[in-house]
Every structure is written in C-alpha cells, then in structure tokens.
Amino acid sequence: EFTVYDKGLLGSKSEGKALLPSEFFYPHGFQGMLAIIGLPDAKLEVEIKAVGAQDEEPSLGQDPGLATDGAPEVGENVAVPQKLAVSILQAHGLKHMNNFTGDNPYVVCEVKHHDPAAESTRVETNAVAEGDTLNPFWGETHNLEPWFEGESLEFTVHDKGLVDSKTECKAVLPSEVFFPQGFSGFVAISGQPHALLHVIVRPLGPLVASGETAENPDVDASSKK
C-alpha cells in the first residue's frame, strides 16, 4: 500500500492511496503506473525488484512482472490451448450510467474465440459498491482457459443494478499485444472519453493433460460460463 501525504504545518494529511497486490510484483518485479484512490486522474509511477527471487534479470524488451514461461516461441504456429493469468486492477474516469441505483461496476473478461461454436470462456470481478465508483478498484487476478493464439480479449464494464446488469462500455486487447511477452498497462474504454482500464495479462503456457499448465499453476482458478 502506497499512501500520498501532504505535510502541512500542523501535521501530515493523507491525500490518497495506491494498492499493489503481491502477485503483481513477486517474483518477477513490477514497473508501471498505479492509480491513486481518492485523487482522480492522479497516478504514481513505481518500480519494484524482488531481490533474490530469481537467478537472472528479465531480458531486454520484456516488461518486468510478465511471465512467459511455457509459452511457445515466436514463429511456432501451433494451435494448442493456453492458460492466461488476467489481472483487472482499476478503471479511471467512468461516467455515471445508472442514476437510479448508483454505479456498482464490475468487469467481465471474455476470450473472443475464433470458433463461433466454442464454449464461452470468461471471468468476472466482484462489483464495487462503495468508495470512488468512477475510479473503481478491483485488484483481482483470475486464470482464463482455454485461450488460443490469435484470440483477443474483450473487457466489458457492467453496472450491477437492482433488476439486471447494464453494459457500460468495452475495451479490446488484441492477441499480439499480450502474447507471448505479456502486457501491463492501460486499455482505452470505448464509449467513455478519457476512461481507461488498468490490466495485466500473463501467458502461463500450454495446458497439459492433467488440466494444469506446465508453469505457474498457483493463480486463482478460472471460471467458464
């Protein structure tokens, strides 16, 4: 937890906080921007290195904190099912879309399968009902499987109302942006000017016969609906 203070004449006043769960920086480290809860449009740039957690530094061109173990080499055009770790951190700059119930935003991440007959593969965050719902913080990590190379990810922000869930807006992350090197950053939300969604996507490698990946099995379980 990072807390921003204003040191005045009478004492230090807390202005805002930024949270970074451990799975985002251990063991591969993290470098990027964090949204500051309580300070709209404010961000905090941090870099964390887990000293002694790995024997060698990440290679140049790889964003720290993004695991690529078990992912096929670039150029291997093999249609094998893969597992992804999808971290949905926070949205920034959402507008009120449901004036009656108030905003209770949550996010659904779905694989856009090439095969239209394929079973839906998706995960869903909890709804944020308190605090700054225009800049909601989820901080959740989920496994998403199966995913095939070339398939994009679609993030949809919903408002959980009294009667039904209302679709707010969408953000799409193409496959080439996060595979095989992974992705950590902000994705523009369509239909919401200046709105962004902070996500991390880590390829965990191909699925094996037992249903687990060859590497990194210790992330929250995936869900399919």
DSSP 39-63: STT-EEEEEE--TTS-SSPPPTTSP
- Do 149 and 79 touch, CB atoms closer than 8 A? yes
Amino acid found at 47 = E
Amino acid found at 139 = G
Give the pLDDT confidence score for residue 63 in this predicted structure: 43
> What does the DSSP 8-state code read for residue 25?
T
CA-CA distance, 93 to 189, in Å (whole number)? 10
Beta bridge partners of 109: 123, 155
CA-CA distance, 121 to 113, in Å (whole number)? 8
Q: Which residues have C-beta within 8 Å of that of residue 218, sequence separation ≥ 6?
A: none
Give the pLDDT confidence score for residue 155 in this predicted structure: 96
CA-CA distance, 212 to 56, in Å (whole number)? 26
CB count, 10 Å around CB of 166?
15
Give the pLDDT confidence score for residue 147 in this predicted structure: 96
pTM recorded for the entire structure: 0.64
CA-CA distance, 159 to 96, in Å (whole number)? 10
Please list the ranges in the chain whose pLDDT falls under 50: 55-72, 74-76, 100, 210-211, 217-218, 221-225
Give the pLDDT confidence score for residue 163 in this predicted structure: 63
CA angle 192, 194, 197 (to 5 degrees): 75
Closest of 180, 151, 186 to residue 61, by C-alpha: 180
Give the pLDDT confidence score for residue 58 in this predicted structure: 44
Give the pLDDT confidence score for residue 133 in this predicted structure: 85
Give the pLDDT confidence score for residue 88 in this predicted structure: 96
Give the pLDDT confidence score for residue 42 in this predicted structure: 74
E strands present in the chain = 2-7, 12-18, 30-35, 43-48, 82-92, 105-112, 122-124, 137-147, 152-160, 165-173, 183-188, 196-206
- Pairing type for strands 12-18 and 30-35 reads unpaired
